[in-house]
Chains A and B, each alone.
Chain A
Amino acid sequence: MLWLCITLPQLPLEALQCEHSEKATVVTVLEGSVRSVVTCNPAAERVGLKPAMNFTTALAILPEVIAMERRLTAEQSALERLATWAYQFSGTVILGDIFSDLQRARTTALWLEIGASLRLFGGFRKLIEHLEAELGKLSYSYQLGIAPTLEGAALLARTGVRVAITTVAALRARIEAVSVSWLNLDPWIPQQLQTVGVRTVGLMVALPRDGVAKRFGPEVCNYLDRLTGAAPDPRPTYRLPPQYHARFEFEAELHNTEALLFPLRRMLREFVGFLRARDTGVQKFTLRFIHRDAVATVITVGLSMPDRSSERFLTLARERLEHTALPSGSVALELSTDEFAMPTGLHIDMLSGATEQSEELGYTIDRIAARLGENQVHGVQAVAEHRPEDSWSHAAPEDKRQHLDFPDRPLWLLPEPKPLQMSGMPSLTGAERIESGWWDGGDIRRDYFIARTQQGAALWIFKDLRDGSWHLHGFWS
């Protein structure tokens, strides 16, 4: 087993806000009667705010600092979304715990077993490059560590050691000099160790085990054994859910479309990671915008063919969103789908230009339909019917070839025949009697003619033989 650990030191902040803000922003938590800073964004760090700082101090440094309340459920949703995304790189994904205490708020982690994936991705370097490229697009701050044990990989990630350690012996050698304060332990333990001069992991591991167990509890010994590979570290692996359902809780209500695009973009990228992991695509997915005082707004985004491109998903969703009036601000966004379909383009001969072209056609049609409404984009077909108004219908253009035989017909048809006042009798040509439809109650008896106007236009007109009235029905354009 070779574990890649992704730690997310800024998760408390980034789970609530994924766009980069120029305003100094911190996430805070109330422990007892003291409010403390959990994480700071770069703008806050620049003015000297730090994690674990007393919030009163932070306010003294920067009175206009924006403070958000830490929300564990938002972090849990974000971690789960990341886990489904990570599945594309590894069939074994393990979720770390989210610690509510201040000291470990920045140690949330996620592990991928990559020993089995290395060959698939063409080696170590390619896998990491690919993973980092995708991870970067999700706009999370992260650190990576690679080691044969879970806790070893996490420790390397936290300390920022960007070297792949593949054997237990190399791991032990590598962490020997690391300070005990980096260990994943209750913070009082490293403090006590340091007061008695045990400053490094190497020194701590060398301590007699029964003494450590007596002083700090048996779980500390167990942790050290799991860290160094002396004991197994079984954990439940994350299972890919059969349906996709992701939720993003916002720190504050988001009121405009532009602001909603940030979380939407991240969610769609994570969604595509999930689709890659399942090796499938979707033809439609549902977005639910959750409002505080109103029923959720549901937008279903449909595609003309199965796809898994986050850019195309975003364009379509954006188009729909811009034409949807949300009743109020949104406090959360959900993305779900329960129907999957293999994207066709991926499996048909990739060299065939026709596939690429039809994909582009589908994409263009989808975008237009997303903006104008599904019914506003269609094809037409001829129908074997005598009545002119029934001899055509809307159709999906793709799937038909017609060889119906019709008499001459005008290129323009009016949606409804228009009553005509006939003053004098113009010269009429092209007489054709159309009688039809008595069997289904809609019978017509009409004499059709072509009438030429002074301007040279050719009108398709008919005389209704039942009442003698004249109507305009089309143009020979």
Chain B
Amino acid sequence: MSASGAATVTSSARAEKLEQLARLCRNGREGPPPRVEPSGSVNLDAVLPGGGWQSGTIVELMPMSDGIGELRLLMPALAKITHSERHVAMIAPPYIPFAPALLRHGLRLEHFWIIRAQSAADILWSAEQTLRCKSFGAVLAWPSAIRDREVRRLQLAAEAGNSIGFVYRSPNAARESSPAAVRLRLQADAVGQLNIDIVKCRGARAGMSVGIAPELATASAE
């Protein structure tokens, strides 16, 4: 983590500059304008580039543990996408996405797909295919491992399909760099408030935290 580490950081920073430049050059000449889905939280929208979940980007989500609201966070946007005639896919989810709960969150199940890929290669391939397909508005993937190069591939696929890629990663990944446009570390406190640490956010300041109050679980508990 000395000289070579610093070199990697510089070169990846340069790569990112180039990508940004390329994106600027493409702007207006190619492809549809990005769509933005409000996250459902005003505080979060305020820090996200474009004011919400922006199509054509990869968002990395790094929850500290299962069951802290890592899926609920996306539900308002996913519900909206399925109501605008676009589809949502979950690739290799760790558990069964429970249909009665999805319905309660307003998802149209006829626009919802589960892809049970096993190997890391199949998961990334399926994510790339669905992101690239214009019929999908959002793709959620749980890859067992993912490298920078693969994040870039997904990024290109998301741009081509004008869709949003949500990639769930282990919290350890927050310490590494990644070309993803938005990187969020998720943790909850003892009463269930979800705290979102902005690890990286293109065009916004990283290092901020946004809190989202617990919703369903505690609401029904009262």
Contact = CB atoms under 8 A, between A and B. Distances in A.
A379 B112 contact: yes
A406 B75 CA distance: 17
Interface in B57-78: 64-72, 75
A404 B98 CA distance: 14
Contact of B100 (A392, A398, A399): A392
Contact of A372 (B75, B115, B220): B115
Nearest to A391: B100
Given A364-B129, A364-B135, A380-B112, A456 B188 contact: yes
A409 B130 contact: no
B99 A380 contact: yes
Contact of A430 (B70, B98, B221): B221
Interface in B73-116: 75, 85, 87, 93-105, 108-116
Contacts of B115: 368, 372, 376-377
A383 B193 CA distance: 31
B104 A476 contact: no
Interface of B: 64-72, 75, 85, 87, 93-105, 108-118, 122, 125-126, 129-130, 132-136, 187-194, 214, 216-218, 220-222
26 contacts: A360-B135, A372-B122, A372-B126, A380-B97, A381-B99, A392-B96, A392-B99, A397-B110, A400-B109, A402-B103, A406-B100, A406-B103, A408-B101, A409-B100, A409-B101, A409-B104, A411-B105, A412-B71, A413-B98, A452-B191, A453-B65, A454-B190, A455-B65, A455-B187, A458-B69, A474-B95
A413 B134 contact: no
Contact of A477 (B64, B66, B108, B125): B66
B109 A475 contact: no
Contacts of A398: 110
A477 B103 contact: no
A415 B67 CA distance: 15
A358 B135 contact: yes
Contact of B192 (A361, A381, A414, A456): A456
A412 B94 contact: yes
Nearest to A369: B115
A388 B190 CA distance: 27
Contact of A377 (B110, B114, B220, B222): B114
Interface in A262-306: none
A379 B134 CA distance: 18
B87 A459 contact: no
Contacts of A415: 95-96
Main secondary structure on A side of the interface with B: mixed
A456 B186 CA distance: 11
A400 B69 contact: no
Interface residues of A, number: 56
Given A368-B115, A380-B102, A414 B96 contact: yes
Given A379-B113, A457-B68, 5 more contacts: A360-B135, A368-B115, A455-B188, A456-B189, A476-B72
A397 B101 contact: no
A412 B97 CA distance: 5
A-B interface, 4 closest residue pairs, ranked by CB to CB distance from nearest: A456-B188, A429-B221, A475-B67, A457-B67
Nearest to B91: A368
Nearest to B189: A456
A365 interface: yes
Contacts of A455: 64-65, 68, 187-188
A388 B116 CA distance: 21
A220 to B, nearest CB: 63
Contact of A429 (B66, B188, B218): B218
Interface string A113-156: 00000000000000000000000000000000000000000000
